[in-house]
Structure 1
Amino acid sequence: MSPTGAMSEKASHSASSNVRLDLEYAEPTMSDTTNSPTETDEAAKDDPIELTRTKSIAETLSLPREILVVAIVCSAQLLTQAGLGNVQTIVHIIGDHFGLTAGELPWLIAGYSLTVGTFILISGRFGDVFGYKRMLLIGFSWMAIWTMVLGLSFYSNHVLFTFARVLQGIGPAIMLPNGLAILGATYAPGRRKAMVFAIFGATAPTGSVIGSTFSGLFALAWWPWTYWSFSIYLVIITVVGSYIVPDPPKKSTFADKPLKEKLWDLDLPGATAGVTALVLFNFAWNQAPLVGWPKAYVYVVMIIGILFVPLFFYIELRVSPYPLIPFEALSSDVAFVLASVACGWSGFGIWYYYIWQYAQVLRGASPLLSSAWVAPVVPSGIIAAIITGLVIHRIGPPPVMMIALTAFTIGIVLIMTAPLSQTYWAQFFLCTLITPWGMDMSFPAATLILSDAVKKEHQGIGASLVNTVVNYSISLGLGFAGTVEVHVNNGGTTPEDILKGYRAAWYMAVGLSGLGMGISTLYCFICWRANKMRANLSEKDEEAKA
């Protein structure tokens, strides 16, 4: 769930923008004041020499304000993962309060990831139309409201908690693409921009551990304060961000249109069909382990979700003037990348959920101790983000993607085969060091591969698609794993049976990440062969000229 510093020159654009933000948002320098802004902008677009006389929005900011801007925008990533961690670590305390069974607990995680992944594409389009800063602040505010409701659900029941949890995920879905768009619009290509995106990526594992640690602390007193304090912090971020974060101009395609045309350009019919298909299909897979596949409504919901898929494609291809996904941008390269990402991150979601269950249910760790056990993902993830940013342009994105999927697979195998009585410092510790390399290498590699694969006017769609696939795959993977677990754990009445169910879920994760490793290896070979063929053709052309 984390972009890194490798999201540099070509991939650090709006999460759904189809323009080159660095040119569109360049501001005239003092030497350009003799011309009108319109004349300067047009000259800059037509004459490459003029580009050297422009500067990015970041260059107009003082250093203290720039630091605050980066901190606030990166909070979008940090708080997204903190929202995941602050339920995961105390999920059993919440479940005991509401009287939930073990089979109902995964919904508290999957529901959040479901809405995060489902609403990213449409949220990015809202940013294009109404402004990235405005949507970022709306995302913070939305998350604050529903986080407050999570705490208030203490006085109600688990239905309100689950409902609020699902709606809470819409906030990060708004924050992530528009935060990326602000960074892409604010910074010109270069090392400074790469470092900013490295920071953005490094906040993912950090946010998860911060969220889990504070929820463990508050749970020692009263667990609702986990969410009330989180909501207060979100309100503070919203207020400070309204004054500090710059407001890049809206995309020119939509900026001058009347409101009625803007609403049409949002592609609301396509968004409705797409969101409905994703939500219903995911709901069926995550509900089935809880109530059982024989329940008729599970099949009905899944079938309805599948039927919405062709409707979505019809609207996008035949009706919408500005489809959410430009299908001409989808190629075999894009298919390889998204398939690898989906396999790797669905496996990661299973690893993440069940490693907490393993620590707390089978090894008896408290929320704080289990947070400490998982904490090595923070330094490991930061190192992975920095190294990926440094090497990805030297060895290329395809090998990085292959290495990332290998890290996912090895990390899952380590915890899957760990004996219950084994010391923490053996396989448990090693898997928390290795798995973050899959996180912080796969996202930037996927983004850059998509950036190379699509046309210039569709550069921004890469980050948007990868974000969607990452978060949706986490939720869907938990549904797959839950189905496997309940069919092999014999009811989970003994520690042996519980462990058997957890390992079965991890076997599912290994299968998914292993499939992704195979796909990424095949794609790496295809790219190597294509490059070799181009090199041979180039040599023949030179020989012919000679």
Structure 2
Amino acid sequence: MRGFRIKNMKVEEINREEKLKNVNSENIVEENLQCNLPGVPQKKSLMSFVHEIVFVAVLCSAQLSTMAALALSIAPINIIGKSFGTSNPGQLSWFTAAHSLTVGTFILIAGRLGDIFGHKRLFISGFLWFALWSLLAGFSVYSDAIFFDICRAFQGMGPAFAVPNAIAILGRTYSPGWKKNLVFSMFASCAPTGFVFGSVFSSLLSRFVWWPWSFWIMAIFCLLLAILGFLVIQNSPVPERDHSSKLYEQVDIFGSISGVSGLILINFAWNEAPVVGWQKPYNYVLLIVGALCMGLFVFFEYKAAYPLVPLKSLSNDAAFMLGCVGVGWSSFGIWIYYSWMFMLNIKKYPPLLCSAHFFPVCLSGTCAAVTAGYLLKHYPGSVIMICAMIAFTVGLILMSTVPVHQVYWAQFFVSVIVMPWGMDMSFPSATIVLSDQMPGEHQGLAASLVNTMVNYSISIGLGIAGTVESHLNEGGRNVLKGYRSAMYTGIGLAGLGITLASWYSIKTYFKRRNKSSTAFLGFSKTSYS
């Protein structure tokens, strides 16, 4: 009888804990439903079905336009280079790397600024900035390649501010569950779709009109999205700031300056190396200074009252997810760039035909996004991440070994089908894991961390692969060998992702197993006492 009474008391205690957990969960959901600005109590918004569709479409367009802008300089890269009088592979790669550099770097601070000043404001401002520098990038045809690179770099700052704040708005609008998984999967599917649309339209305009028109039309599109964002994203009062601390402390000004500076210098050194070589003193000096800046960044983050990246509280789940995203998406950047170079310079295909070869990415990416949303309901994020890393690896193996005269439907087509599964499974799984772990007022931070790794790794991956290519292409005499060597580098990075994800998945499995065993033994002892 004594054991029975203790068992009943144990059940009552568990019921009380469940009720308390449900109350806390309701509070978290209510917090996540606050849509635009942090720290402001809001009621749950009631959007009509049509309003919600437009709302999600506008926010997902941030991801779509980012990848479309990336494609604007890849598809017609030889045409753009010819207009500037250059065919140097290192200089041509800067057309793409400059954009990814600033997207990946300034996303780091965009989420924090959105948490302080409002995500809607930063979203609209990002697209207005995006439109301005897209316009100027088109007019750079009257200048030179350096000005075009500068415009591409400043252009990348626009999506850097739009994307994490779009994710933050979605993260605070939808509470954890199937609907949030579906929305984030849709957001991820816009990456391959955006790239295909950008490559098709830039190829058409470059072939039949003039390549600057692709940038001018992008400017019009970004302006339209800024207007739609103003109309469909709900307004909310200006958040009350914490007046007990200064604004520069809340922004983490020292961490922001050191972090952004370090990321820019390291990335610049890696992407400049294929152009001038590591024998140039300024190149490795910039790399060393960048590493020192990142050291200062880590120091400031541990000391800051409002750290840009809360390293002390960053969980193992988040760290492993970010590491897998970094190596996986760097391999993707290598795959997408050198696949285009292979078709343009080895197979001698025109840009429009190259775009047609990548069209299956849209369908495969959509299927991958829907599948990822379903799998995330039934399996942990670590398992989804292993599948994503395998997809990255298989896609690169297929592409790196394609014979020059092989038919498209053999390895190339299969690679194009497989690769989006890596993109659209890694991005939502990492985003949802971090978003669910962060409170509502730090949804911008969760979005910034994932997107920083995605976009920054694309740029730095190109720099690493470009260095390998320049050292193994026999001084430009064996272009195909250089391309294959660069893609082998991507295989190594994706393989590292498989190792990280597998090790973390095994560790998580045994940790949960031990916890379950301990809980079961403890309950059994209590029941029979």
1:116 offset after TM fit, Å?
A: 0.7
Letter in 1 for 2:323: A
The answer to whether structure 1 residue 92 and structure 2 residue 100 are counterparts is no
Equivalent residue in structure 2 for 1:298, among 283, 307, 330? 283
Partner of 1:125: 112
Of 91, 95, 99, the residue aligned with 1:112 is: 99
Distance between the aligned counterparts of 1:103 and 1:414, measured in 2? 25
Report whether the alignment pairs 1:521 with 2:502.
yes
Query: Shift in Å at residue 524 of structure 1?
Result: 1.0
Q: Residue 150 in 1 paired to residue 163 in 2?
A: no
In the TM superposition, residue 108 of structure 1 has moved relative to its aligned partner by: 1.1
CA contact (8 A) 1:117 1:472 kept: yes
Partner residue of 2:221? 233
CA distance in 2, matches of 1:21, 1:307: 41
1:177 aligns with 2:193: no
Q: CA deviation at 1:445?
A: 2.2
Deviation of the 1:462 alpha carbon:
3.5
Q: Give 1:360 shift.
A: 1.0
Matches within 5 A, 1:249-288: 249=237, 255-257=240-242, 261-288=246-273
2-side partners of 1:404 and 1:477: how far apart? 18
Asked whether 1:475 is paired with 2:475, we answer no
When residues 434 and 398 of structure 1 are mapped into structure 2, their CA distance, relative to the original with a 3 A threshold, is same
Within 1, Cα distance between the matches of 2:29 and 2:129? 27
Choose from 345, 362, 376 the match for 1:361.
345
- Unaligned 5+ segments in structure 2 are 1-26
Query: Do 1:22 and 1:187's aligned partners in 2 also have CA atoms closer than 8 Å?
Result: no
Give the AA of the match of 1:502.
Answer: Y
Who is 1:140 aligned against? 127
What runs of 5+ residues in structure 1 fail to find an aligned partner? 1-18, 28-37, 42-53
Give the corresponding residue for 1:63.
49
SS at structure 1 position matched to 2:246:
helix
- Report deviation, 1:357: 0.5
Superposition pairs for residues 345-424 of structure 1, below 5 Å?
345-424=329-408
**Given residue 328 of structure 1, which amino acid in structure 2 is its aligned partner?**
K
Deviations 1:417-451 (A, max 9, x none): 11111000000000000011111111222234445
Judge conservation of contact 1:186–1:248 (CA < 8 Å) in 2: no
| Amino acid paired to 1:518 | T
CA distance in 1, matches of 2:460, 2:407: 32
Give the counterpart letter for 2:235 in structure 1. D
Amino acid at match of 2:396: I
Kindly state the Cα deviation for residue 456 of structure 1 after the two structures are TM-superposed: 8.7
TM-score, structure 2 length as denominator? 0.89
Alpha-carbon spacing, 1:22–1:107, altered in 2? closer, same or farther (3 Å) = farther
* AA at the equivalent of 2:162: M
Q: Give 1:20 shift.
A: 5.1
Question: 2-side partners of 1:74 and 1:55: how far apart?
Answer: 24
- Change in Cα spacing, 1:69 to 1:498, as seen in structure 2 (3 Å) is same
Paired residues of 2:322 and 2:453 also in contact (CA < 8 A): yes
Specify whether residues 259 and 241 from structure 1 end up closer, same or farther in structure 2 by C-alpha distance, changes over 3 A only: farther
**1:99–1:76 distance in 2 versus 1, CA, 3 Å:** same
Distance 1:133 1:271 in 2: 21
Call closer, same or farther: CA 1:264–1:460 in 2, change over 3 Å: closer
The answer to whether the Cα contact below 8 Å between 2:188 and 2:423 also exists between their aligned partners in 1 is no
* TM-fit CA distance, 1:63: 2.8
Amino acid across the alignment from 1:80: T
Whole-Å separation in 2 of the counterparts to 1:217 and 1:286 = 29
Query: Post-superposition shift, 1:333?
Result: 3.4
Deviations 1:360-413 (A, max 9, x none): 111111111101101111111110110111112212111111111011000000
Identity of aligned residues (%): 44
* Structure 1 segment 31-42 matched on structure 2, within 5 A: none
Q: Helix, strand or coil: the match of 1:119?
A: helix
Amino acid at match of 1:339: G
**Corresponding residue SS for 2:200:** helix
Moved more, 327-336 or 453-462: 453-462
1:308-340 CA-to-partner distances (Å, cap 9, x unmatched) read 12222232222x321101122224433322222
Alignment of 1:198-237 (within 5 A): 198-220=185-207, 221-237=209-225
Paired AA for residue 311 in structure 2? F
Q: Equivalents in 1 of 2:185, 2:32: separation in Å?
A: 24
- What is the TM-score with the length of structure 1 in the denominator? 0.86
Does residue 159 (structure 1) correspond to residue 146 (structure 2)? The answer is yes
Equivalent residue, structure 2, for 1:539: 520
Contact 1:182–1:248 (CA<8 Å) still a contact in 2? Answer: no
Deviation digits for residues 130-178 of structure 1, max 9, x if unmatched?
1111111100000101101111001111111000001111101100111
- Structure-1 separation of matches of 2:460 and 2:320: 19
Q: Is residue 309 of structure 1 aligned with residue 294 of structure 2?
A: yes
> Are the aligned partners of 2:184 and 2:428 in contact in 1 as well (CA < 8 Å)?
no
Q: Report the 3-state secondary structure (helix = DSSP H, G, I; strand = E; otherwise coil) of the residue aligned with 1:122.
A: helix
Once the 2 structures are TM-superposed, how far is the Cα of residue 25 of structure 1 from its aligned partner? 4.8
Distance 1:451 1:75 in 2: 20
Bigger Cα displacement from structure 2, 195-204 vs 181-190: 181-190
* CA distance 1:174–1:527, shift in 2 (3 Å): same
**Residue 75 of structure 1 corresponds to which residue in structure 2?**
61
Q: 1:232 to 1:459 in 2, by over 3 A?
A: closer
Give the secondary structure class of the aligned counterpart of 1:246.
Answer: coil
Alpha-carbon deviation of 1:299? 1.3
Q: Which amino acid aligns with 1:280?
A: L
Pair 1:434–1:25, CA change in 2 (3 A): closer
How far 1:237 sits from its partner (Å)? Answer: 1.9
SS of structure 1 residue aligned to 2:418 = helix
Instruction: Describe the shift of the 1:527–1:191 C-alpha distance in structure 2 as closer, same or farther (beyond 3 A).
Output: closer
Q: Structure 2: how far apart are the matches of 1:536 and 1:264?
A: 45
Moved more, 397-406 or 257-266: 257-266
Q: Which moved more, 1:372-381 or 1:234-243?
A: 234-243
* Count of residue pairs brought into register by the alignment: 496
The residue type paired with residue 114 of structure 2 is: G
8 Å contact 2:258–2:293 — kept in the other structure? yes
Partners of 2:108 and 2:142 lie apart in 1 by: 35
Give the Cα–Cα distance (whole angstroms) in 1 for the partners of residues 482 and 59 of structure 2. 40
Equivalent residue in structure 2 for 1:487, among 466, 471, 480: 471
SS at match of 2:349: coil
Quick one: distance in 1 between partners of 2:153 and 2:442? 30
- Aligned equivalents of 1:271 and 1:397: distance in 2? 30
Query: Would the aligned equivalents of 1:22 and 1:189 in 2 still touch at CA under 8 Å?
Result: no
